[in-house]
Each structure stands twice: as C-alpha cells, then as structure tokens.
Amino acid sequence: MSAQWLACRPVVPGASIMPYQSAWLPGRLETPPPPRGTQVVTDDLTGLGNRRLLYRQLDTALAHRAEGRSVALLIVDLDRFKEINDALGHHMGDQLLRQIGPRLASQLRTDDLLVRLGGDEFAVLLADRDPASATTVAQRLLDALEEPFDLEGVALHVDASIGLALCPDHAGTPIALLQRADVAMYQAKAGHHGWQTYALVGQHQARDRLQTIEDLRAALAGDELLVHYQPKIDPRAHNVVGVEALVRWSHPTQGLLYPDTFLPLAEQTGLMRQLTLVVLQTALRQGQAWRQAGLDLPVAVNLSVANLLDAHLARQVGDLLAGLRLPARALELELTEDTLMADRCAASRRWPTCERWGCAWRSTTTAPATPPWPTSRSWPSTSSSSTSRSSCA
C-alpha cells in the first residue's frame, strides 16, 4: 500500500403466527418433536415464525388480496449487529434478538405476521393495507427501537433499516416481493433513511452496491487504498505540528474514489475495522519514516462507531506502536461528536483501555458542545474555535 483522516463523519409470537402456535420449540421437553416430515415454521431462537412460514402466509395473502388493496412486506435489518456480536459476544447478540421481537410486535395488529428471516433480519407481512398505512407501520417499527435495550446491565442503542415493497405495485409473487423489499432495505441503509419504499432504480443500484462491496474486499487485500496527509498548522507559530491521515481508494476502473463513496459501505458490511487497521498501519509506517528523517509529526486517524465497538482496538494499536518502535505520542485517535453521540457507552469503554498505551485522543465538533459523558473527567471538552486534546493518562 502506498503512502499518500479517515473521514468517518460524521413478538409476541402469538401476535403473528396464531395458526402455528403449537410449533415445537427446542428445549421445551414437555412438547414432543414434530413428526418426521413435518416442516417446522418457528424460529428456534426467538419463538417467532421463520422464513418457511412467511412464504406460506405470503402465498395465502397474495391469493386472497382484495381488489384495490395491497399486501405489504417489510424487511427489518439491524444496523451494526456484527459489531455488537464481536464486541459483546454472541450470547449477548442472541439476547438482543429475543428482545427485538416483542418491541416490533407491539406496533402490529393481531392479523399481521412477524417472522425472523435469519441472522439480524426480520420480516413483517401486512396482508390488507393501503400504501400509506404500510409506511406508517414502518416508521412505528423504527420508533419502537429507539429506547435502549438492557443486556445484562449494558444499555445498548440499536438502529435498523427497513425496506418496504407492495403487491401489486412492485411484485406479484412471494419471491419477487421479498427480493424487492430486500433491495429497498439496502437503499434505506445506504442512505441512512430509516425506511425506504422500493423503487425500480434500486434494482440497478443494488447490483452496483454488491459489486462495489466485492471490489472493496479486494482493495483491502491488495494495494488499492492510499493514504494522503493533510498538514496541521499552528497559527501562532506558523509551523506544521502534525498531519491528518486521509484515505482514498485507487479503484482499477473508476479511478480515485473519495471516502463518501465507500466508507458507508464499509461500515454497513463489517469491513470498517479492517479498513481502519490498514490505514493505521500505513499511517504509522509513514510516521516512522518521517521520524527517521528527523521529522516528529504525530499522525491523526479518525475512528468510526464500528471501531468503538471493536474489543481488539486497543491491543491492535499497542501492537502496531510496539512493532514500529514508535512512542504513543506518534498517534492521535480522532472522534467526531457524531461518532461519540452514536455510541457513548462504547466510546467510554474503549477510551480507558487505549489510554494505557498513552495515545492522544481528539474530540472534534462543529459547534460548542459539552462532553457527552457523566463527568468532566470522562472525556476531553471541545469548543468551536479549537480542538481540545487530552493525553490518555
């Protein structure tokens, strides 16, 4: 990678599967397993319906759709679930998934269907709704997730992206309707819209998105990411006091790409931590070369929410510094206020761990703000005229 700021700016089961409430749940010893050949329609982890039940109910709903009425399908995908699993453990991720169902079900009618498709994806089938009421449901589902979830004493805020597709407007078969809702969900995630109704243009965008994700994976494994350096000037002394690392992607067919074209995808697909590690490695190697040439220039690297959730962040930073025989002051880790506010709990956990390495942290804002922590000692304060810096001691 060549040397050249990582810009991370910022159910209740009975409510939806009434005909199938007798489905066998593993672990309930008083209930015998289903007879051989019987298709289980219940998700083992959450007790909700599963994908098989969704297809069965979709077939029925589409066959009995009244003239002038719509069948709506919503795909609900949790944001950053992989990072939650990695940071807190899979058992905590499972606890979260079990709590999601009742939250969503509280916003549904008794004849609506809620299922877990798998992983962190859920689906809601609204069998007899008009488009306006379907969009209202989508917003209510998002609102239901706003309150933090309590996971063994950890208050966790969870966001989601929802894709909405309608029959007959967007598709006429179960498979096509599910595919359209999935495309809309990725549109919502990419645009940070919360929820999104399917649009035909989204079909092509979805293909482009998948290709860009694969290209980014290859870029991380190859030598396509560049790091440029922006000098930091002391206005009083009129000299350079450090640099900020700026990541760019030298795409083989699209040329030089700026962060806004690929960082959101890296965040959504779990690639942000790997990308940040590549930037850290490159920036610190360049910092080492400058020191050997007699230039003592600290390098600042911006962190995202995904990095704050990374339990290995502090160890990786420490290993890099030790391997290159660099003092901790050679690196500054930067967080925007948007990142801090997105997950204050994660930030407050990572900061004391990283401070043991002696790294400097910088918190940046665009307007006067008070630190989002319980006490003034918890995080360096910031202002609009300058960036306050705290040595992690």
pLDDT (tens digit, 9 = 90+) per residue, 194-242? 999 987 655 556 677 778 888 999 999 888 999 999 998 888 888 888 9
Which of 199, 219, 250 lies at the terminal end of a domain, its last residue?
A: 199
Query: What percent of the chain clears pLDDT 90, i.e. is strictly above it?
Result: 39
Q: Which residues of 109-123 are buried (b: 16+ CB within 10 A; e: fewer)?
A: eeebbbbbbeebbbb
Last residue of a domain, one of 162, 180, 199: 199
pTM greater than 0.85 (yes/no): no
Least confident range from 6-10, 140-144, 319-323, 352-356: namely 6-10
257/225 same-domain check? yes
Give me the CATH number covering residue 307. Answer: 3.20.20.450
Average pLDDT score over residue span 165-189? 89
Q: Please report the pLDDT score of residue 266 as a whole number.
A: 86
pLDDT tens-digit profile of 161-174?
A: 999 999 988 888 99
- Which residues are CB-contacts of 316 (< 8 A; sequence separation ≥ 6)? 277, 280
For residues 129-146, give the mean pLDDT.
Answer: 92
Residues 236 and 356 in one domain: yes
On whether both 22 and 123 belong to a single domain, the answer is: yes
Query: How is residue 339 written in tokens?
Result: 């990142």
Do 310 and 370 lie in one domain? The reply is: yes
Residue 5 lies in a domain: no
CB atoms within 10 A of CB 224: 18
Estimate the crossing angle of helix 131-144 against helix 90-105, to 10 degrees.
140
What's the CATH code of the domain at 100? 3.30.70.270
* Range in 18-32, 55-69, 111-125, 314-328 with the lowest mean pLDDT: 18-32
Residues 108 and 67 in one domain: yes
In a domain, 205, yes or no: no
Q: Which residues of 167-197 are buried (b: 16+ CB within 10 A; e: fewer)?
A: beebbeebeebbbbbbbbbbbbbbeeebbbb
Which residue, of 139, 167, 199, is where some domain finishes? 199
pLDDT top residue among 330 and 349: 330
HSE at residue 208, side-chain half, CA atoms within 13 A, is 10
Considering the domain architecture, whether residues 170 and 304 belong to the same structural domain is answered as: no
Question: Of the spans 23-32, 156-165, 266-275, 383-392, which averages the highest pLDDT?
Answer: 156-165
Residues 137 and 78 in one domain: yes
| Ramachandran category for residue 132: left, alpha or beta (phi over 0 → left; psi -120 to 50 → alpha) | alpha
Q: Is 226 found in the same domain as 120?
A: no
Which range marks the domain in which residue 358 is found? 210-391
Instruction: List the alpha helices (DSSP H) in 49-200.
Output: 51-63, 81-88, 90-105, 131-144, 174-191
66-92: average pLDDT: 87
> Are 108 and 141 contained in the same domain?
yes
**For residue 7, is it within any domain?**
no
Taking 60 as the threshold, does the pLDDT of residue 344 lie above it? no
Q: Is residue 1 part of a domain?
A: no
Same domain for 77 and 163: yes
Distances (CA, A) of 249 to 5, 211, 219, 258, 306: 13, 15, 8, 7, 20
For residues 68 and 120, state if they share a domain: yes
Same domain, 265 and 191: no
Q: What is the pLDDT of residue 264?
A: 81
Rounded to an integer, the average pLDDT of 32-40 is 55
Residue 4 lies in a domain: no
Q: Is residue 332 part of a domain?
A: yes
Average pLDDT on 313-334 reads 89
Residue 6 falls within a domain, yes or no?
Answer: no
Specify if 204 maps to a domain: no
Domain count, the chain: 2
**CA angle, residues 333, 339, 342, in degrees to nearest 5:** 145
Tell me how far CA of residue 187 lies from CA of 7, 60, 128, 183, 190, in angstroms: 21, 28, 25, 6, 5
